[in-house]
Amino acid sequence: MTTTKKVTQRLTRESFKQWIQGLDAFLFDCDGVLWCGASPIKGAAKTISLLRSLNKRVMFVTNNATNSRATYVKKLASQGISADVADIVTSAWATVQYMKQHKIEGKVYMVGEAGLQTELELEGYQVSGMEHSDIKGLPHVPNIDMDTKAVVCGLDRYFSYYKMAYATACVLQIPGCHFIGTNPDSTFPTDGAIIPGGGSLVRMLECAIGHPPEAICGKPSQDLLQTIIATYELDPSRTCMVGDRLSTDIEFGNTGGLQTLLVLTGITQESDLSKIDNAVHVPDHYVDSVDVINQLQLA
C-alpha cells in the first residue's frame, strides 16, 4: 500500500484552461485576497469581471465580522467590483443564521463592531456591548443584564477588559446563556501589518469562561458551507474557494469537497507551503495573486 500525499500545484498557463472549464462558481475571500486594509490588490476587479464574462457565478465569503453585508457592497464598489447583498456572506451573517437555526432569541451581549450589530438587529436581536467601548479599566465587576440570552464574540478593535469581564460573567452566571464565536481567525491582514483577529478574542473568553464556544460560525464551519451550497444551489465539485489562509479558507473548501485556490497576498507566504502538516490545509492550486487568473486567461 502506498500513501499518496496531496501536493499543491502552481496554476500555470498549461493547467489553467482545464481548471477554469471545470468550474461554475467562485467563492472569494476578501481581506488579503481582493484588498489589504485600504489598499486594493492589483487586478482584483479585472479578474472578477473576467469570471463573470465567462458566465461564472461569483460570491464573496469573508470571516470579517466588523462590516455588514451592505457595507461590503459599498467597499466592493469602491474597488470597482459590483455586487449585491445576496452575493455576500460574512461571518456576522453566518452567526445570525446559526442563532436563528438554533431558535436563540432576545438580548445579545456583543463583543464586536458595528457590522455585527447591524446584522443582529436586522433579525430582531436586542444588542448591547458597543456602549461599553467608552468604559476603560474599572469597574471590573460588571452588573450584568440577567436576561441576556447569548454572548457573541468577533473582532472588536474597541475591546476592553470591561467587555471581557461582562461577557465572561454572562456565560458563567446566567443559566443557558449561549457563547458563540463569529470566526476563528487569530490574526487579520491590514495595511502593512498583521493585527490580532477575532479568533484571539474568542480564545481569551474561552480561557476565562472555561469552555469553548458552542459554535464558531465563519469559515471553516461546514454548517456554513452547507447553508451556502443549499442557498445558492451550488455543485461543490464545480465550485472554487479562493483565499489567503490555510486554516480557514482552504480547510473550508477542501473539507467540503470544493476546489481550492490559495493566493499569496495575505496571511500565507510561499515559504509556508512546504511546512503544511495537515492534509486538509493543502490547496489544490496556488497563485501569487488574483491578478494571475486574469493574466492567464489573456495569455
Beta bridge partners of 62: 90
**Identified binder of a second copy from the candidate list 146, 161, 235, 288, rule CB under 8 A:** 161
**Cβ–Cβ < 8 Å for 298, 25:** no
For a second copy, the closer CB: 154 or 256? 154
Q: How far is the CB of 253 from a second copy (least distance, A)?
A: 23
**Which span (145-153, 197-205, 241-249, 256-264) binds a second copy, by CB under 8 A?**
197-205
Q: How far is the CB of 251 from a second copy (least distance, A)?
A: 17
Q: How far is the CB of 276 from a second copy (least distance, A)?
A: 15
Residue 145 annotated as binding site: no
For a second copy, the closer CB: 158 or 232? 158
Residue 29 annotated as binding site: yes
140 binds a second copy (CB under 8 A): yes
For the chain, how far is it from start to end, CA to CA, in angstroms?
41
225: nearest Cα among 192, 176, 260: 260
Residue 219 annotated as binding site: yes
CB contact set of 271 (below 8 Å; sequence gap of 6+): none
Per-position b or e across 216-232, b if 16+ CB within 10 A of its CB: bbbbbbeebbebbbeee
**Cβ–Cβ < 8 Å for 66, 154:** yes
Q: Write out the residues near a second copy by the rule CB under 8 A.
A: 133-134, 136-138, 140-141, 156-161, 164-165, 168-169, 172, 186-187, 190-197, 199-201, 203-208, 210
